[in-house]
A and B are shown apart, each in its own frame.
Chain A
Amino acid sequence: MGQIVDVNDLSRSFVGKTALDGVSFHAAAGRVYGLVGANGAGKTTLLKHLLGLLRATTGSVRVFGLDPVRDPVGVLSRIGYLSEERELPEWMRVDELMDYTRAFHPTWDASYARELFESFALDPSKKVKELSKGMRAQAGLIAAVAHRPELLILDEPSSGLDAIVRRDILDAIVRTVADDGRTVIFSSHLLDEVERMSDNVTLMHQGRVTLSGALDDVRRGYQRSRVRFVEQLDQPPLLDTALAMEGGGRTWSVVHSGSLEQFHHSVLALGGEVVESRDATLEEIFLARAGRNRQQMEVA
């Protein structure tokens, strides 16, 4: 128990292009961490550092208190990993792939693996190259979880998969946490999935962490309100804490941060009223933050 991942001030660039810029990320045992951000935000690069596949340019990476680059065996034997590409050896049969994976993991749980094969109705005698996209994901998932890893890392696991296989993946996340109190870090562009499955959420944008914390805390800071003005407005009202706005004329829908009281005041000052407010969804926060960053870039 305790701290599983500690990334401090990690920066990394590829041929002059900054991929990660001062990223800090921490994960404690028994929780699910959701990583969100647009393509190229740095999610995969961060995860590859946890696996020791990339070396930090500056900053430090510790998993189970170890440096994954210097002690790959000590770290990787305790991690389960499934990537979007699902790079599996094409020429192997599925059961050979499992034997191969098992050889690296003394904690392999054969009965758990068998149970998963049955529930997925996956034929172990098939060759990897004969598998459909969904079956590849299922085979990759079994290989990632059957040794009951202390840390399960899933990089866009649901990408391009149908609802049934996506459900299998979510089930694997739940079981990893519920059965053994282990830790999951997963990246996804499906925000409803992230909202359901995450205890903590980290939003990345252009190589930086722009928002991070317990999901409830992150969500609490943002509201979505409907506001109505006495007169028609030709352009969006200028409200201090507004991050995103849609609507027109007298009625606008606003995603905003800060206190609700403060928001009421600034709407009132413009001759309007707040019709209703509720907590913003993760998707609304994410889109609002991305939009704001774009605006700032345009100004700069």
Chain B
Amino acid sequence: MDITINVTDGVPIYRQIVNQVKYLVASGLLQPGEELPPNRTLALQLKVTPNTIVKAYEELESSGVVHMRRGSGTFVSEGRQQLALRERRRIIEQRIDALLAEAHQLNFAADDILRMVRERKAAMDLGTTAEPADVEK
């Protein structure tokens, strides 16, 4: 599981883990039903005390992101995750930033991009273009 710990910004480590797991779930990098690494494995990977992982997983469970099955492990919960507006914005904004950077490289102005987004949306609504999700399937 791709998690990075930073001890210079004052955010408690268990909270950093909670936030990053929520992000991984919200962005689809962790799928419902997927198993999180066991305490020991993640503690060894991140070089943190195992009790911090326990605390993070417990908090994730109480906020409904994961559930623990006795004796088997910790799994991402089914169903759409309820995410705070701030988190949803953060995820989308990252995609927008990447889009704008690429647009700049290819000589599109931000207004062009806005127009193109609207055109694509309209085409999607009319069914004249395949949705990317369908293409993948």
Write the residues of chain A forming the contact surface with B, with a CB cutoff of 8 angstroms. 30-32, 167, 170-171, 173-175, 177-179, 192, 195-199, 216, 219, 224, 278-282, 284
Residues of B within 8 A of A199 (CB): 49, 51-52
Q: Which residues on A sit within 8 Å (CB–CB) of B31?
A: none
Is B20 at the interface (CB under 8 A from chain A)? no
Query: Is B89 part of the binding interface, using a Cβ–Cβ cutoff of 8 Å?
Result: no
| A174–B11 CA distance with the chains assembled, in angstroms | 21
Contact residues in A for B52 (Cβ distance below 8 Å)? 199
Q: Does B81 sit within 8 A of A, measured CB to CB?
A: no
* Contacts between the two chains (Cβ within 8 Å), count: 65
B50 touches A196 (CB 8 A): no
**B residues 28-77 with Cβ under 8 Å of A?**
39-40, 43-44, 46-52
User: Which residues on B sit within 8 Å (CB–CB) of A171?
Assistant: 44, 47
Stretch at the interface among B2-10, B93-101, B104-112: B2-10
**A275 to B50 CA separation, bound complex (whole angstroms):** 35
Does A196 lie within 8 Å of B40, measured CB to CB? no
Determine if A281 and B7 form an interchain contact, defined as CB atoms under 8 angstroms apart: yes
A-B CB proximity, top 5 nearest? A178-B40, A178-B50, A279-B10, A278-B10, A32-B49
Of the A-B pairs whose beta carbons lie under 8 Å apart in the complex, a sample of 6, sorted by A's number, is A171-B44, A174-B48, A196-B48, A197-B47, A281-B8, A282-B7
In the assembled complex, the Cα of A192 lies from the Cα of B9 at a distance in Å of 11
| CB–CB B43/A178 < 8 A | yes
Residues of A within 8 A of B11 (CB): 278-279
CB of B51 within 8 A of CB of A170, answer: no
Quick one: which of A170, A179, A198, A216 contacts B12, CB cutoff 8 A?
A: A216
Question: 6 other contacts beyond A192-B8, A216-B14, with CB at 8 A cut-off?
Answer: A173-B49, A177-B43, A195-B13, A197-B47, A278-B9, A278-B11
Contacts of B49 in A (CB 8 A): 31-32, 173-174, 177, 196-199
Whether A178 contacts B39 in the complex (CB less than 8 A), given A32-B51, A197-B48, comes out as yes
A175 touches B40 (CB 8 A): yes
Among candidates B5, B9, B44, residue contacting A174 with C-beta atoms closer than 8 Å: B44
- On chain B, the residues within 8 Å of A280 by CB distance are 10
Instruction: Known contacts A171-B44, A196-B5; decide if A177 and B10 are in contact (CB<8 Å).
Output: no
Residue of B nearest to A32 (CB): B49
**Residues in chain A near residue B13, CB distance under 8 A:** 195-196
Residues of A within 8 A of B14 (CB): 216
CA distance A198 to B51 in the complex (A): 9
Collect the chain A residues with CB atoms within 8 Å of residue B50's CB.
174, 177-178
Contact across chains for B40 and A174 when beta carbons are under 8 A apart: yes
Query: A195 to B7, Cβ gap below 8 A?
Result: yes
